Each structure stands twice: as C-alpha cells, then as structure tokens.
Structure 1
Amino acid sequence: MYLATTGRPDTSARPRTGGAGRRVPGTVLALGAVSLVTDISSEMVTAVLPLYLVLGLGLSPLQFGFLDGLFNGATAFVRLLGGHAADRGHRHKHVAGIGYALSACSRLGLLLAGGATAGIAAALATDRVGKGIRTAPRDALITLSSPPDALGRSFGVHRAMDTTGALLGPLAAFALLWATAGAYDAVFVVSFCVGLLGVLLLVLYVPGHHPAPGPSAPPAPRKGATFAALRDPAFRRILAATALLGTATVGDAFVYLLLQQRLDLPVGWFPLLPLGGAAAYLLLAVPAGRIADRVGRRLPFLYGHLALLCVYAALLLPTGDAPALLLLLPVLALLGAFYATTDGVLMALTGPVLPVDGTARGLALLQSGQALARMLAGVGFGALWTVWGQGPALWAALSLLCVALAGGWLLVPRTTPSHPERRTA
C-alpha cells in the first residue's frame, strides 16, 4: 500500500486525469462499510439527542452548547493520542477498532443513565472519545491506501458511504420512536447492537496496515514526530485556516434547533431534519472529491464554507406565511454541500504534505485544531443565543464567518507539494 502513497505529487497544485479510471481501493470500501454501519448506530442517537436534552430534560441552549462543545473539544486531545498510537508500529486498524468499540458501548451508557444528567454526560463523553480515537487512524488508512492523485475520490467514496449511514440512522430512530410511542430506550438498545456489527465488520474485512519489506517500507517513527508536521509551512497554513474557519462553524444541532423553532415544526418530525443534509452530502461527496482531484482542493474547501455562510443568511430571512419547505430544503441542501466540499476534501488536501510515518499524527493534529475551534464556536453561539436571542447570535456567527473566509483565502496555500517521502526517486 505504501507503493500507492509514494507515487506522485499531490494534485492540489494542478489538474490531473491519470487517476480517473482507477478502482477505489478495497481498504477504502471496507472502511466505508464500517463507517456506514457505525453511522446508522450513532445517528440514531444524534438525531434524537438535541430534542431529548433541550425539550425533554429542559437544558437551556447555553447548557446544550456547553455540553456539545465541551465534548467535541475534549476529543481534540484524544485524537492526538490516537494518531500517535496508530503511527507507532503502524497499528492504524487496532487503534481505530478501540475507538469504534468505545462508541458502541456508549449506547449502553445512555440506556443505564436514565434521566441522570451526569450519566448522560459520561456516556456522551465515551462516545466522543471513541470517535476521537478512531478518526485519524481511519483517515490515515485511506490516505496510505490510495494514490495521491485520487485521494479526493477515495475520501469522497468513503464519506458517501458514511453518509448513507447518517441518512438511515435518523429514519431508524424515527421508526423506533413511532413504533414504541416515544421510548428512547429502544433507540439506545438498537443503536448498541448496530454499533457492535460495525466493530465486527472492521475486524473481519479491514486489512491491518503492514508495510511491505524492502526500500519502499516507511521509516520507523522518529523521536518527537508527534508535532513534526508543524515544520512544514504548507501544513501550518492549512492548520491555521482550518482552526480559523472552525471558530465560525456552528454545530449542526443548533441549525436543526433553529429550523424547528423558526418553522414551528412538530416535535415528532425533529429526528428527520438531518436527512436533508445527509442526502445532499451523499449526492455531492463523490463528485466533490473528483472535482477536487482535477482542479485542486483549495477552492472546493473554501467554497464549501461559503455554502455554510448561505445557511446562516437563510436562517436570518423572514419566513412570514411562506411554506416551511421554502426555507427547510435550501438550508439542509446547503448544509450537505458544506460537508461534501470540506470534510473529505480537507483530508485529501492535507494528507500528501505529511510524512509517511506521521500521517495519522498530522491528521490528528489538524482534526484536533478543528475540534477545539468548533468547541469555542458551540459554546459561544449557545451563550449568545441565551443572552441575546437567535437573531443576534446568527448575525454574530455570519460576521465571524465572513472574516474567517477572508483569512482562509489568504492562508490556504495555492499549491501543496507532496512530502519528499511520498515522491518517487
């Protein structure tokens, strides 16, 4: 697999067509299947969680924003540990498996917690820790298994499969709540069982990364390699831009809560709101990845945040007596477009500039910076909403995103040459 990763320079600098006919690597498809099943499990819970916490347990937007942002930020440090452990001995699959198992077990924690806020917080923390541990090793496996000029497509295919699970999860939650007359416990039990299936698929079908012997094998991890990526100017600029844009990225849960309250949607339909964004993400992930491989990954990443800016602007528009769908569909479509053009594209943009033996570490560092920035965004937006109300909070988020986009345009490098270890002799 390392032969694939050391073949050619990154395509962000110029268009390429050589990878257009290649098949997606089997490792990517296997990881996609694992993510699909795991996302069914996680999105079953995620779809009902804001409703359960804010409307069921009576948490204020500030409390919800604090919990959501705190757990997302806490995973920043776990991601670094997961990336470091994965690169040491090239144990990407094993470390990712621990993360998937923790997330599955967290569903039992929600079941046992009942209505106790402390128990719910502990279960959510376990879930986010599991996600933090697995993300960088999983993305490193995708990077190490794919040709550099097809990374956008590989991540696009993986994210499309992942999003299929995100699409099915809320449907399953909605069906269970309807069939059980609102029994959240049933959602947690089924989510746990599906999560265990995802772990089983990882064990059986995802190959462990074993470097080939000989000159193509990667060097042993270097001392102090955890932050070695920071020595690369291109990586530092990408990291700074990602963190800056993350500080203006309001969490999805807030977008759904704003839609529900602005349109006065029935509470029972709330779990279905993520479906619109997931459907748009599913349709656009692979095309966005292929376009990024051809034209470079910088512009799709920045234009994706422009789509998020349009989400904020749409939520500020007066609704009046207009049908709810006139606001609902564009907002969800734009939210899906934002993720399709930023999530996997960012990983494809960053992967080639990292050293081979520090891929998971570098991606973990990038994801950690993004998670910390989004933690600040979640807590800040929740506080502004609580103190000033929805409108002023949205105006503040929109203004900050405008500034962040201008900074990102200057920071993200126009060309990102591959790390020397990834080039052929």
Structure 2
Amino acid sequence: MIKSPGTIHPTVRALGWVSLFSDFASKMVYPITPLFLTAVLGAPVWTVGFVEGISESTASLLKLYSGWLSDRTGQRKTFVVTGYGLGAISKLGLAIASSWTAVLTVRLLDRVGKGLRAAPRDALIAENCAPHQRGQAYGFHHSLESVGEVLGPLVGFVFLWKYVGNYRGVFVLAFLPALVGVLVLLKWVREPGQIQNDGGHRCDSSPANNHPVSSLKKFTFKGLSPSYRKYLGVIGLFGLGNSSDAFLLVRSQDLGFSGSRLLLLYAAFNLMSVILSFTIGRFSDQVGRRPLLVMGYGLFGLVYLGFGFAQSPTLIWILFMFYGLYTALTRGVHKALVADLVHPSRRGTEIGTFHMLVGLMALPASLLAGFLYTQVSASAPFYFSAGIATISAILLWQCRLKA
C-alpha cells in the first residue's frame, strides 16, 4: 500500500496529492463519457475514438513546448497550475455539452491542460529526487494518483445509483475535487530553488537538482541520446496499439455493463495500481526499469487478447484487474526511465518529447481502433493491440539502454 517515507520530498508528496484530487475528478467523469456520448447525445461509436484521439494528439505538441519553455524560463509551477486549472474548468464544460462536437471541445480543453502540466510536473519530481530513488518517487506519485482513480469512480457510482442517469450531475460534482487539487498546488508545491519550511526532508539536497535555465534555442531529435531515441522508437510502436481506454469501456458496455457498473469496474481496475505502484516503482530502482516494462507490455498483450475473446461480464472483471497490474508495471516506471535517459539541462524538453509522442500516437491508434471496431468486428482492435504489444515487448527486451 501507499507509504510516505521521509525520503520523499514535500514537493513530490504535494504533487502526489494534487494528482489524487485531479484524478478523483477525471476518473469520475472518464468512464461514463463514452456512454454519455453514445446513449445520451446519440453519437455513433466512431466518435468515441475520434474525440479521444484528436483531443490527445492536438494537445501533444504542448507537452513538448511546455517542457521546453519551462527549461528556458527556469519555471515549472506556472505551467502546472495553468494545466490543472484548465482540467478543472473542463468538468463544468461537460455538464453543459449538448453535442459530441461540444464534448470534443471540452476534451480538447482538458487535454491542453494536461499538455501544459505533464512535462513540467514530471521534471519537478525528477528535480526533487536522487537518481537512485526515481522509481520510488514516481511510484509514490502514481500510487496517490491511483487512489484518486479509485475514489472518483466509486463516488460517481454512488451518485448514479441514487440519481440514475444524471451524468451531468456527475460532471458538476467532479469539479469540486479538481478545484481542491489546484488549491493544494498553489499552497504547497515549490520550485526546487525556493526555500521551504519543510523540516529538511528531501530525496537529495544536492544543488544539481535545482534545474538550470536551458540555453536550448530549439528542439531537435538529433540532440537526444541514442538510448533515448531507441526507447522512444519502442514507445511509438507500442502507442500505435495502445488506443483509448474508452474502447475497453465500450466493449464492457456491449457485454452488459451499465453506466454505474462501469464506474465500479474502473474503480476495481485502479485499485490494483494503488496496491502495487509504489512497491513496483521502488523495485525498479533495484532491478532496473526495462524488465518490468517488458513484463508490462506482455501483460497488456494478454489482457487485450482476452478482451477480444471475452463473452461474459465475469471475464471482463478479471481482465480489468490484470489491466491494473499492467498500469502499475508501466506508468511510473516509464517516467522513471525517461528521467534516467534525459539530459539534466534539457529535462523539461526531453520529458516533454516522451509525453508528446504518447499523445501523438493516440490519434492513429484510436482512429484505427474505431475503424476496426465498427467495420471489421468488436474483437478486431483488441487482437491488433495484442500483436503490437507483443512485438514492442520483444524489441524493448533487445534494447540496451544506457543513461
């Protein structure tokens, strides 16, 4: 379970709480958005992939630019505050949306917020943590994030159980924890160079962790280390098969899950991440990141293969639990390996490269999944993703990555 050892810097702890409240709000909304689109607004299934894919990919360039700009200015917090603020406002936007294009606009606003905050936030974590404790720090952050991802669906489930079909009410309710997250961020998150009355707790008090202002005028992929370019190549391939989780929810809906049960299902999935993320992150500091990522990719392939074959709600419950294990094996470990491979003076920019690539691949992945789902069969996108994940796992195992 979640631990908060003294070696976790107060800023890292605060960012974990910010993510907890933010994901509390987001995951109250996310599992029912596909159902809101198709059942309430009457949009076709292909719009689910389009909305998710285009919103992720359109915001992807911001993930690079915000990281680069935070390097240039020596400021991270401004971008993080703006990003989480836009995410909070988007919840109210969903409550008044009357068409799938309005939902697309609101999702774009939310993803722009993520694009602004993702790289600067992850750079802040890296700058407040010693290299040999990055897995622990990112694992801790992901664990708190996952607590929010459990609480959000559970609260949404209780609300819909009492007010059946009131999706707009859920969206309004989700604004409250999102606002709390922004307030925590404003109060307790500090730049590495700022003096904090935190009792002296820090992963690493060395001045090297205070991020230097980068002199990088423009970004080029040639400036990345060979190991990081290899890693990004595998990430890009895996991303082609990693379509939006909305398709897992649509598949579950087809097999008989209602809106309230989808929220319960999503909570159970995230519970696995709460239990395991911190331990797996710390374990990656000891055994290395790559073996755990290979295991995660392999598990992803098996889970998606299972979704392709699934015909019963019982199997869906089991698959979502294993999907939570995949998330625990990869999300925090991915970020820790990125932090290992990037150049310290270009940390925000190069971390932004990772986030940008993941976001850009979301569009073709989701559009392809939507096409396969509607034009071939409901199982086809899951078989495709399973194959891509297997190839990615093999390639990552063969890579020799040096920090």
TM norm structure 2: 0.91
Would the alpha carbon gap of residues 97 and 117 (structure 1) be closer, same or farther in structure 2, given more than 3 Å must change? Answer: same
Task: Find out whether 1:37 has 2:30 as its counterpart.
Answer: no
- Paired position in structure 2 for 1:236: 229
Cα distance, 1:215 vs. partner? 7.5
**Once superposed, what is the RMSD of the aligned Cα atoms?**
2.2
Q: Deviations over 1:352-381 (max 9, x none)?
A: 222222111111101111111222111101
Q: Say if 1:349 and 1:416, in contact at 8 Å, map to a contact too.
A: no
Cα distance, 1:79 vs. partner? 0.6
Q: Say if 1:61 and 1:382, in contact at 8 Å, map to a contact too.
A: yes
Q: Structure 2 CA distance, aligned partners of 1:389 and 1:365?
A: 34
Q: Deviations over 1:154-196 (max 9, x none)?
A: 1001000001001011111122223333222221222122211
Structure 2, unaligned runs of 5 or more: 196-205
- Paired position in structure 1 for 2:116: 133
Would the alpha carbon gap of residues 22 and 198 (structure 1) be closer, same or farther in structure 2, given more than 3 Å must change? Answer: closer
- Paired position in structure 1 for 2:268: 276
Cα distance, 1:218 vs. partner? 4.9
Aligned runs of 1:16-415 on 2, under 5 Å?
A: 23-113=7-97, 115-210=98-193, 216=208, 218-224=211-217, 226-227=219-220, 230-262=223-255, 264-317=256-309, 319=311, 324-325=313-314, 327-411=315-399, 413=400, 415=401
Q: Say if 2:77 and 2:189, in contact at 8 Å, map to a contact too.
A: yes
Q: Structure 2 CA distance, aligned partners of 1:397 and 1:231?
A: 28
Identity %, equivalent residues: 28
Q: Deviations over 1:204-233 (max 9, x none)?
A: 011123279x98565431133534774311
Would the alpha carbon gap of residues 383 and 352 (structure 1) be closer, same or farther in structure 2, given more than 3 Å must change? Answer: same
Cα distance, 1:404 vs. partner? 2.7
Q: Deviations over 1:41-88 (max 9, x none)?
A: 111111211111122223223221111111111121111121122222
Equivalent position amino acid for 2:127 in 1: L
Equivalent position amino acid for 2:155 in 1: A
Would the alpha carbon gap of residues 26 and 318 (structure 1) be closer, same or farther in structure 2, given more than 3 Å must change? Answer: closer
Equivalent position amino acid for 2:25 in 1: S
Equivalent position amino acid for 2:309 in 1: L
Cα distance, 1:401 vs. partner? 2.5
Q: Structure 2 CA distance, aligned partners of 1:70 and 1:220?
A: 33
Would the alpha carbon gap of residues 225 and 211 (structure 1) be closer, same or farther in structure 2, given more than 3 Å must change? Answer: farther
- Paired position in structure 1 for 2:199: none
Equivalent position amino acid for 1:272 in 2: L
Cα distance, 1:410 vs. partner? 2.9
Q: Structure 2 CA distance, aligned partners of 1:381 and 1:56?
A: 22
SS class of match (2:191): coil
SS class of match (2:193): coil
Cα distance, 1:393 vs. partner? 2.9
Cα distance, 1:394 vs. partner? 2.4
Q: Structure 2 CA distance, aligned partners of 1:331 and 1:290?
A: 25
Cα distance, 1:118 vs. partner? 2.6
Cα distance, 1:408 vs. partner? 2.8
Cα distance, 1:307 vs. partner? 1.0
Relative to structure 2, which stretch is displaced further, 183-192 or 34-43? 183-192
Cα distance, 1:403 vs. partner? 2.5
Equivalent position amino acid for 1:255 in 2: L
Structure 1, unaligned runs of 5 or more: 1-20, 418-425
Equivalent position amino acid for 1:245 in 2: F
Q: Structure 2 CA distance, aligned partners of 1:200 and 1:130?
A: 16
Q: Say if 2:213 and 2:345, in contact at 8 Å, map to a contact too.
A: yes
Q: Structure 2 CA distance, aligned partners of 1:345 and 1:164?
A: 18
Aligned length: 390
SS class of match (1:226): coil
Equivalent position amino acid for 2:55 in 1: F
Q: Deviations over 1:21-40 (max 9, x none)?
A: 86211111110011101111
SS class of match (1:88): helix
Cα distance, 1:267 vs. partner? 4.2
Relative to structure 2, which stretch is displaced further, 194-203 or 178-187? 178-187
Q: Structure 2 CA distance, aligned partners of 1:356 and 1:58?
A: 49
Equivalent position amino acid for 2:370 in 1: G
Q: Structure 1 CA distance, aligned partners of 2:309 and 2:170?
A: 35
